[in-house]
Structure 1
Amino acid sequence: MTTLHITVDDRESLREDALQFAQDVEADDLDDQDGTATLQFGTYDGFVDSLTPLRLELVWAIAKEAPESMREAARLVERDVSDVHSDLKQVEVLGILTLEEGGPSGAIQPVVPSDRIEVHIDYPLVDSGDADGTPASA
């Protein structure tokens, strides 16, 4: 099973993760991913703007039905082909699916390489503040 992990975290955590990844690459110290991939968003707004309910429904339909073309994917979700095409391009940029040329009948075929998506959202309701527990905004 291949799992796509989606995380929403603050920009500083994303920066630290990227620096650690770069250091691991330089040291040739990357662990096997065990069939996982990670997509990170720096803000909750970025997450919900990118992965709308319509786009998630489209990804689910493609994973379940394996359509042979964008047109067939549009039929699955009962949406206009041009809107689905636009959404597929956006989701492809995120790395959630691929658009493979040369599908049956020469069409571009959307393919979801993951079997599962897991989402972790770090959404603090209060500033973490200083070490003494005082909120940063006080």
Structure 2
Amino acid sequence: MTTLHIAVGDREQLREDTLQFVQAAESDGFDDEDGKVTLQFGSYDDLVESLTPLRLELIQAIAEHTPESMREAARLVDRDVSDVHSDLKQLEVLGILELEEGGPGGAMQPIVPFDRIEMHIDYPLVGGVDDGGTPASV
């Protein structure tokens, strides 16, 4: 089973983690043996803006039904093709799904390479209390 781990953390920690990842990759010290794929958002607002309920429904429909085209994916969720196309492009940028050529008539086929999504959200209710964190925005 392949799981996408989604985390929300402060922007400074995200920056540091990204720098460490890039340094490890450049020095061939990157270890993807654990098979863990993590997507980290800098804030709760970023997460909510990127993974809307409609996008989550779309991800689930694609994972369950493996549509052969964007148009078929739009039919699965009963949405306009242009809106679904925009969502698919955003989800591809985030790395949540892939768009591959090879559908009927050369259509782009959306593929979700995960069986499950797990989310960890650190949502401090009071900022600056012993952890030096910044208050979460609402």
TM over 0.5: yes
Consecutive aligned runs of 4 or more in structure 1 exceeding 2 Å deviation: 22-36, 128-131
TM-score by length of 1: 0.87
Q: CA RMSD in A?
A: 2.2
Aligned-residue offset at 1:13: 1.1
Aligned-pair identity in percent equals 73
Aligned-residue offset at 1:26: 4.1
Tell me the amino acid that sits aligned with residue 59 of structure 2.
V
Q: Partner of 1:129 in structure 2? A: 129
The answer as to whether partners of 1:129 and 1:136 remain within 8 angstroms in 2 is: no
Aligned-residue offset at 1:130: 4.6
Q: CA separation in 2, counterparts of 1:43 and 1:26?
A: 27
Change beyond 3 A, Cα 1:49–1:35: same
Encode CA deviations 1:89-124: one digit per residue, 9 max, x unaligned.
111111100111122332110011111111111111
Give the gaps of 5 or more residues in structure 2. Answer: none
The answer as to whether partners of 1:130 and 1:136 remain within 8 angstroms in 2 is: no
TM-score by length of 2: 0.87
Q: CA separation in 1, counterparts of 2:118 and 2:48?
A: 15
Q: Partner of 2:117 in structure 1? A: 117
Q: Max radius of gyration: which structure?
A: 1
Q: Partner of 2:57 in structure 1? A: 57
Change beyond 3 A, Cα 1:88–1:21: same
Give the gaps of 5 or more residues in structure 1. Answer: none
Change beyond 3 A, Cα 1:15–1:106: same
